[in-house]
Amino acid sequence: MATIRTPDQSTRLAALSVILLFLTAALHGQTARVVGQIDDNRRIGLQGHVPSKAKPEHDQGPVSPSLGLNPVTLHMKPSVQQQQGLDQLLAEQQDPSSQNYRRWLTPDEFGDRFGLSRGDMAKITAWGESQGLKMVREARGRNWIDFSGTAEQVGRAFRTEIHRYEVDGEAHFANATNPSIPAALAGIVSGVDRKSVV
């Protein structure tokens, strides 16, 4: 036999469902932060991303456009609320009187609480792939994505040039200028790096 609900009960149930949905999202830190489409024409620079030894006097010119760069890592940062929650958890994990004392998170638990939403990760991955890069892997904690591509593709994606440098008799390569990212990723992407640069 079907249950008959009064309009007041139905309204309360709908309101309760909405509240539970928002509480679940807040609990897991999964508020969408990439709003709308990523417009590649609106850019911001990432300051401080030219290695200190990548100086004009060491510059040997651009690398071959076909040079493979793997991986190039895009690092994400938590929201202000997520960072506050993470700071609190870290303090509690060191406090013997806390119920979270030495209660460590798995990478997936970390991602659910302090990483980007799966939707945001998918949007950033789609943007990288639209630039010709290939997504290699993403962190289970959803705080970085590894891409691969040629020097030409990486340079185009981040609006920089990859140059060769000779420092103390050793050959290196690095970006010659600060990279840039779409403005939609401001406050989300904290940096981009390649581990074998200068």
Which pair of structure tokens corresponds to residue 132?
Answer: 């010709």
HEC states along 20-63?
HHHHHHHHCCCCCCCCCCCCCCCEEECCCCCCCCCCHHHEEEEC
The Cα–Cα gap between 187 and 28 comes to 19
pLDDT in tens, 19-42: 433 444 444 547 899 998 899 999
Identify the pLDDT of residue 176: 96
Identify the pLDDT of residue 4: 56
Identify the pLDDT of residue 142: 97
The Cα–Cα gap between 151 and 154 comes to 5
**What proportion of the chain, given as a percentage, has pLDDT over 90?**
80
Q: What is the mean pLDDT of residues 79-97?
A: 96
Identify the pLDDT of residue 26: 46
The Cα–Cα gap between 191 and 72 comes to 10
